[in-house]
Structure 1
Amino acid sequence: MAVALASPPLFPPSQLKLSLSSRRRCCRCSTTVSKSDSISSPHTISTTYRPAVILPGLGNNTNDYQKLALILSDYGVPSVVAKVSRIDWLRNAAGLLDSNYWRGTLRPRPVLDWYLERVEEAVNEAKELAQGSTLSLIGHSAGGWLARVYLQEFGLSDVSLLLTLGTPHLAPPKGVSGVIDQTRGLLDYVEKHCAKAVYTPDLRYVCIAGRYIQGARLLGSSNDDNSAVMVEIDQPVGEMTAIDTSTPASATLRARLVGQGYKQVCGQADVWGDGVVPEMSAHLEGALNVSLDGVYHSPVGSDDETRPWYGSPAVKDKAENHHK
């Protein structure tokens, strides 16, 4: 079954096929798409690509996204990366002085005004490249939900596509033992006050999740006796080995540690994710939701080949190789 991704696209048609390994899943129709299928548009596809603004994730800096910008440039998509340094993220410590931080009801503003201002600067720069056309926002990790805050606070008249990469969109569940909301209420605010995801001709939300490793409970076994844990080996992504984890001993220590990270985000440890963000948290109701096998969360720690992240050349190369 082909999944429709209406025009005009952020990436060219070959990139939109999003073939990374043997499986893809569209969460709007609960369908797993085989690698021989393609994500194509039922409409006429524009050959003019809108400029893109790239929003860095938590702890990342502008330089981490230069390869992604180059890939977009190769396809004729001009891009601007919001100017953010790693030290800039220390500004978030200002939230400690807000009583809402300690109550778990923190709001994005004014704590994150510095980031939103950097996005506004990048958007204004991209508008000069747009020559009257609309823009795309590409938000990686926290940059995805911060893009939603930006759209809510600064308006969305110039934006026609929000593409999120490994973004934890959903607030952690409340009342789950051992789960602490590390955003101190920020994602609660986004969920309650920012516009819901849409997929319309005027504005499209596309949320991409990675399935790099399945987490495991710290103690005991998974609920799913047929689950699998990805084992890192020296092979290209798509050729990684999945082993049966029907017994507790087969869950690797790494899977258990990753699972504890997943639990802090979604309340569950034994789920799939990109090594940082669970798949279920990276999707939004109302958006076009896509899952890519073998994709790691961050450009930091990615080697592009055996551990590609969302913006790695390997992702582009596999999309091309599968559909030549």
Structure 2
Amino acid sequence: HMALALTVRGPARARARGKTQACQAQAGKRSVIILPGLGNSASDYDDLAENLRSTTGLDLNVHTCDVRRIDWLRNAAGLLDPAYWKGTLKPRPVVDWYLDKVKEKVEIAKRDGGPVSFLAHSAGGWLGRTYLVSMEAPEIANVDCFVSLGSPHMPPPKDVIDQTRGILTWVNETTPGAFHDSVKYTTISGTCIQGTKFGDEDASLEQKITGQGYKQVGGNADVWGDGIVPKESAHLEGALQINLEGVYHSPLGQGDRKWYGSPEVIGEWYHHLDP
């Protein structure tokens, strides 16, 4: 910029300098892409996105994948695949519709020019991992950071019916743990309800029902979790693993409980989006 300073004078020089600084600022600005969870729509994350932009002190572009609740019915296409019934389903082409929506936001982030963080909620976790091994490598997508909130990362034991009908098994065989060396992984789990076996007479009905849900996801009923996903299923080996006490799984059905995206909870983890 020395030549610029010598040859440009007055307001034009100030404009040129301002323009250069604006380009530098934009080029360095990190983008966060929110990957919605199963059954969620983009609008469920409006408050989270706004809080990330305005209250964290980080200078972030925040994009939420344009998913509508009705879009999830597209997964029913998997029912036509014999692999669904065998429990050997692979993510593609069943979830291509979702991966395409992630790619739309990745392309916008590429134009912004800065590094990209995937912020994945629930099923968005294994969908984001699938993206980075089947759509674009992290280096191509500019993704250097992956943070998951209550994501069921691990398939259940063989004797429990896998609700993803084999997809989670494929994901963990293809991209196990904190798979990409160039990506900083952080997995976050809430511990707000301890599940119990159904025969536990001392437990509340909520604990028993939650325990059955945990058993479907991870194989065990009497474990801690966020009310939907047990803690053990929500972490990846090699990732920074964070457990947040009293935090519920979802912005839907939370009642008066706080969830991962509640303003008072964001402060516990947002700094991991900008490693």
Letter in 2 for 1:56: P
Match of 1:309 in 2: 259
Match of 1:88 in 2: 71
Identity percentage over the alignment?
Answer: 51
- Deviation, 1:128, is 2.5
* Equivalent-residue separation in structure 2 for 1:62 and 1:318 (angstroms): 23
Q: Which moved more, 1:293-302 or 1:105-114?
A: 293-302
* Equivalent-residue separation in structure 2 for 1:118 and 1:252 (angstroms): 40
Q: Please list, as runs of the form range in 1=range in 2, the aligned pairs for 1:1-324 lying within 5 A after superposition.
A: 50-74=30-54, 75=56, 76-129=59-112, 131=113, 133-153=114-134, 154-157=136-139, 158-175=142-159, 179-198=160-179, 202-220=182-200, 248-249=201-202, 251-302=203-254, 306-316=256-266
Q: Secondary structure at the match of 1:168?
A: coil
- The C-alpha deviation readout for 1:205-230, integer Å capped at 9, x for no partner, is 1000000100010014xxxxxxxxxx
* Greater relative contact order (Cα < 8 A, sep 6+): 1
- Deviation, 1:155, is 1.3
* Equivalent-residue separation in structure 2 for 1:124 and 1:63 (angstroms): 21
Q: Is the 8 A contact 1:53 1:82 kept in 2?
A: yes
Q: Is the 8 A contact 1:54 1:138 kept in 2?
A: yes
* Equivalent-residue separation in structure 1 for 2:198 and 2:77 (angstroms): 33
- Deviation, 1:109, is 0.4
- Deviation, 1:194, is 2.0
- The C-alpha deviation readout for 1:266-323, integer Å capped at 9, x for no partner, is 11000000000000000111111110001100111235xx411111112146789xxx
Letter in 2 for 1:103: K
Q: Is the 8 A contact 1:215 1:256 kept in 2?
A: yes
* Equivalent-residue separation in structure 2 for 1:122 and 1:300 (angstroms): 24
Letter in 2 for 1:281: S
- The C-alpha deviation readout for 1:34-65, integer Å capped at 9, x for no partner, is xxxxxxxxxxxxxx662100000000000001
* Equivalent-residue separation in structure 2 for 1:262 and 1:318 (angstroms): 24
TM-score for both structures, normalised by structure 2: 0.82
* Equivalent-residue separation in structure 2 for 1:260 and 1:268 (angstroms): 8
Q: Alignment length, in residue pairs?
A: 237
Q: Is the 8 A contact 2:177 2:238 kept in 1?
A: yes
Which is higher, the Rg of structure 1 or of structure 2? 2
* CA pair 166-49 structure 1, distance change in 2 beyond 3 A: farther
* Equivalent-residue separation in structure 1 for 2:176 and 2:93 (angstroms): 19
Letter in 1 for 2:106: V
Instruction: Please provide the CA RMSD for this pair.
Output: 1.8
* CA pair 318-138 structure 1, distance change in 2 beyond 3 A: closer
Task: Please list every run of 5 or more consecutive structure 1 residues that lacks an aligned counterpart in the other structure.
Answer: 1-47, 221-247
Q: Which moved more, 1:307-316 or 1:114-123?
A: 307-316
* Equivalent-residue separation in structure 2 for 1:263 and 1:318 (angstroms): 28
Q: Secondary structure at the match of 2:97?
A: helix
Match of 2:18 in 1: none
Larger % of helix: which?
2
* Equivalent-residue separation in structure 2 for 1:125 and 1:66 (angstroms): 18
TM-score for both structures, normalised by structure 1: 0.70
Q: Secondary structure at the match of 1:150?
A: helix
Letter in 2 for 1:137: F
